[in-house]
Structure formats: C-alpha cells, structure tokens
Amino acid sequence: MKPRQEDLIAPGADIDDDDHVELRRLRSGSVVLVPRALRNLGGSDLQQAAFLQEEAATVQDSLARLTGRVVAARARGLSWNTIGWCVGLSADGARRRWQEASDGA
C-alpha cells in the first residue's frame, strides 16, 4: 500500500507559509517536495530534505506492510502475546496498536 500524496506532504502543512510546494529534482536523481517556505534550501540541505522524505515514505510503506502482516497473523490465530513479542511490544501494546485493523479484517 503506497502512502497517499496528502500523507507525504502533510508534515509541511503547518509551516507558516502557504501550502504550495515545489517539486525539485536533485543532481543525485532524488526528487524532493519543498514547501515554498523552505525554498531557500539548496545543496546539501536540500539533499538532506530529500533523504528525510524518502525515509519517511519507506517507514510509511513498512508500517502498512506490518499492519497487513499482523492482521494476517491474527486471522491465523496468533496471540497478541506472540505478535507483541515478535515486534518488540507487550501483548497489550500490540493489541492497542492493531486491534482495530484486525477487527476490521
């Protein structure tokens, strides 16, 4: 499941400038969305912004996949204790995080 575009640009929405963004392609080939409030970024600062956006998109993709795997595990009967242990949470923490997704499956 790919992140929705509004999810990717939402973190910049609270910047004190208008909501317009510029799409910039860097020499490295990376593409970065830059709110006009940050239009003065250049060079390595702009590359760092691109790295942050790429990592954030990767995290969002990973979390969506993880949620899908938790839902599948619950459908197969794995306990919240087992799921929690596998992902570094308590059973209660795993249940709080994914029960709604699991119940909706």
Higher pLDDT, 40 or 99: 99
Give mean pLDDT, residues 10-30.
62
Interatomic CA distance for residues 11 and 31, integer angstroms: 17
DSSP string, 40-52: T--HHHHHHHHHH
Q: End-to-end alpha-carbon separation of the chain, Å?
A: 15
Does the model's pTM come out above 0.75? no
Residues contacting residue 15 through CB under 8 Å, at least 6 positions apart? 35, 37, 38
CA 80 vs. chain centroid, Å, equals: 23
What the block records as the tokens of 44 is: 């390595």
* pLDDT (0 to 100) of residue 80: 96
Higher pLDDT, 5 or 48: 48
Query: What pLDDT, in 10s, does the model give residues 50-93?
Result: 788 889 889 999 999 999 999 999 999 999 999 999 999 999 99
